[in-house]
């Protein structure tokens, strides 16, 4: 790593939304020029909060954040601002600069190539698909060539070719880049260190090295700390038994017991504050009512060709235990097709009467954001059961204090887990999943894939995660790009 000057430094930074639930507690770390780092931590630990603190959209309650004078910061935001939706591509990118850029079109072409997107300069932003908008936001951050580039889950809406393009760009990027991502292969290809955010201690530990090596180092350190604490706890227990014995004796024995109490108190203070490895959700099963008839029959679909809708004839029948993968380039209409299917608005697709649909939207717009976790899970049940709601939320790492939290306050990863918790209680006959691994911690993905393999209902899936797709054992592929 080329060690330049320190560009960014957190000095004893503490932050909370609720004083009873700290996000950061005395966090210390520094980032040098030209560094390529990833922020690692459990869903909801506060990774995106660190980005907001760097952007100064949030202020710490304690400590200071030092940014080198004159350093510029660019962030790939998750959602296009409402006022930008009516702009053309050219107008949108012009907003990235304070002064007029006379070679703007050339710069736009360059960054669109990085994110693997073809976009006419006169096309309005609101005419792009959700995945295309995410790529435009990524390109918007890149075009500024900031001294600090912040990327929050940048591979979520990229296909394999898009990820390769972005990786190549980041390897050659001559400035600092900090990434939040659960894509281990992507991170390992260009990052040089990890900022590990511990959701238990609320501190940040800095590591240098390849992502995969750092993950292994963290796991080994956790194991060592746990073994050390086991030994210390055994020693403390032995001493307490002796204290109990001596304290019932007189004279010198009682004084000895008093000294041993002080030693035990010191030993308990010296126990290692163990960093907790990301918890993994336990195996789960999504029940589906047995349904003898075909669940869905698709005879035609609408695809986008040269940015215009075109109707194409197909023949796809989805039955129980049948898994269909919808593929095609970004902008071809995959998400639009899934939304139309789920809402019953795709004229060429008929969902059989009586089929219950569970729909996972990649942008979580299907979640009622102003409702609490409890209310969302309650709505999914025919007969609400308080105990089952709390138990289901807990198994998806949404414990008691999160159950009364509104969905809008959850991290993106927690929203994803909430969707799967809802499926458990809803018991859908047909699952329609649009990029269900986006924002999900990589530790949970094999568990989710196994649950989908055991699922007795029908499945229609869009996913760029090739390993996940292989694990799900898809039966049929519908390539919209080949129609």
Domain ranges of the chain: 6-214, 215-269, 296-482
Class of residue 57 by CB neighbours under 10 A (exposed 0-12, middle 13-18, buried 19+) = exposed
One fold for 6-214 and 296-482: yes
Residue 441 has pLDDT above 70, yes or no: yes
With a cut of 60, say whether residue 272 has pLDDT above it.
no
Round to whole Å and give the CA distance between 423 and 284. 11
Q: Does residue 319 register a pLDDT over 50?
A: yes
Flag whether pLDDT at 2 surpasses 60: no
CA distance linking residue 180 with residue 161, whole number of Å: 20
**Cβ–Cβ contacts within 10 Å for residue 298, how many?**
21
Residue range 6-214 in CATH 3.40.50.300: yes
Answering whether pTM is above 0.75, one says no
- The listed range with the strongest mean pLDDT (11-15, 155-159, 225-229, 300-304) is 11-15
Q: How confident is the model at residue 1 (pLDDT cuts 50, 70, 90)?
A: very low
Q: Which of 176, 175, 221, 215 is nearest to 195 (CA)?
A: 215
Rounded to the nearest 10 degrees, how much is the dihedral formed by the CA atoms of 91, 96, 97, 103? Answer: -60
Q: Tell me how far apart the alpha carbons of residues 277 and 215 are, in angstroms, rounded to a whole number.
A: 10
Average confidence (pLDDT) over 170-177: 90
Give 278's DSSP letter. P
| 313 pLDDT higher than 90 | yes
The stretch 441-448 carries a mean pLDDT of 88
pLDDT-derived band of residue 274, with 50, 70 and 90 as boundaries? Answer: very low
Query: Could you tell me the pLDDT band of residue 264, with boundaries at 50, 70 and 90?
Result: low
Structure tokens at 352: 């059989």
Q: Does the pLDDT value for residue 433 go beyond 90?
A: yes
If you search the block for the tokens 């993106």, which residue do you land on?
412
Most confident of 180-189, 190-199, 373-382: 373-382
Residues of the chain by 3-state class (helix, strand, coil), percent to 5 = 40, 25, 40
Domain 296-482 in CATH 3.40.50.300: yes
Cβ atoms < 10 Å from Cβ of 478: 19
Please report which confidence band the pLDDT of residue 197 belongs to, taking 50, 70 and 90 as the band edges.
confident
> Which band of pLDDT confidence, cut at 50, 70 and 90, is reported for residue 330?
confident
Which pLDDT score, from 0 to 100, does residue 263 have?
65
What does the mean pLDDT of the chain come to?
Answer: 85
Phi then psi for residue 203, to 5 deg, are -110, 170
How far apart CA 116 and CA 157 sit, in angstroms, is 11
């Amino acid at each position: 790593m080329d060690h330049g000057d320190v560009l960014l430094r957190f000095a004893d930074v503490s932050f909370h939304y609720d004083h009873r639930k700290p996000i950061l507690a005395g966090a210390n770390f520094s980032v040098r020029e030209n560094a390529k780092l990833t922020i690692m931590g459990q869903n909801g630990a506060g990774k995106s909060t660190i980005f907001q603190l760097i952007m100064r959209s949030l202020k710490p309650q304690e400590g200071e954040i030092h940014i080198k004078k004159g350093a510029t910061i660019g962030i790939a935001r998750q959602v296009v601002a409402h006022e930008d939706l009516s702009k053309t591509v050219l107008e949108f990118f012009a907003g990235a600069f304070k002064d007029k850029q006379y070679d703007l079109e050339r710069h736009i072409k360059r960054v669109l190539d990085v994110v693997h997107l073809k976009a006419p300069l006169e096309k309005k932003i609101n005419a792009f698909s959700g995945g295309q908008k995410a790529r435009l936001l990524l390109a918007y951050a890149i075009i500024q060539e900031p001294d600090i580039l912040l990327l929050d889950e940048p591979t979520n809406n990229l296909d394999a070719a898009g990820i390769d393009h972005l990786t190549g760009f980041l390897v050659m990027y001559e400035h600092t880049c900090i990434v939040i991502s659960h894509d281990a292969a992507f991170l390992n290809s260009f990052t040089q260190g990890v900022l590990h955010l511990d959701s238990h201690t609320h501190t940040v530990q800095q590591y240098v090295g390849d992502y995969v090596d750092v993950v292994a180092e963290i796991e080994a350190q956790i194991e060592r700390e746990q073994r050390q604490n086991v030994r210390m706890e055994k020693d403390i227990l032995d001493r307490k038994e002796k204290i109990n014995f001596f304290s019932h004796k007189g004279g010198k024995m009682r004084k000895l017991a008093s000294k041993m109490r002080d030693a035990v108190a010191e030993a308990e203070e010296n126990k290692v504050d163990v960093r907790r490895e990301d918890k993994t959700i336990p195996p789960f099963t999504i029940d589906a009512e047995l349904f003898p008839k075909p669940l869905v029959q698709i005879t035609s679909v609408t695809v986008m060709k040269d940015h215009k809708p075109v109707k194409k004839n197909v023949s796809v029948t989805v039955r129980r235990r049948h898994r269909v993968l919808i593929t095609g380039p970004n902008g071809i209409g995959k998400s639009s097709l899934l939304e139309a299917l789920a809402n019953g608005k795709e004229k060429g697709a008929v969902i059989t009467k009586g089929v219950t649909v569970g729909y996972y939207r990649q942008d979580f717009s299907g979640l009622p954001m102003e409702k609490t976790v409890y209310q969302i899970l309650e709505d999914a049940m025919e007969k609400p059961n308080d105990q089952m709601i709390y138990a289901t939320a807990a198994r998806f790492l949404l414990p008691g204090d999160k159950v009364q939290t509104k969905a809008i306050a959850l991290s993106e990863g927690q929203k994803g887990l909430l969707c799967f918790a809802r499926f458990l209680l809803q018991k859908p006959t047909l699952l329609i999943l649009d990029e269900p691994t986006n924002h999900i911690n990589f530790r949970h993905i094999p568990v989710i894939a196994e649950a989908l393999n055991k699922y007795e209902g029908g499945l229609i899936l869009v996913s760029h995660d090739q390993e996940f797709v292989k694990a799900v054992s898809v039966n049929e592929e519908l390539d919209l790009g080949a129609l």
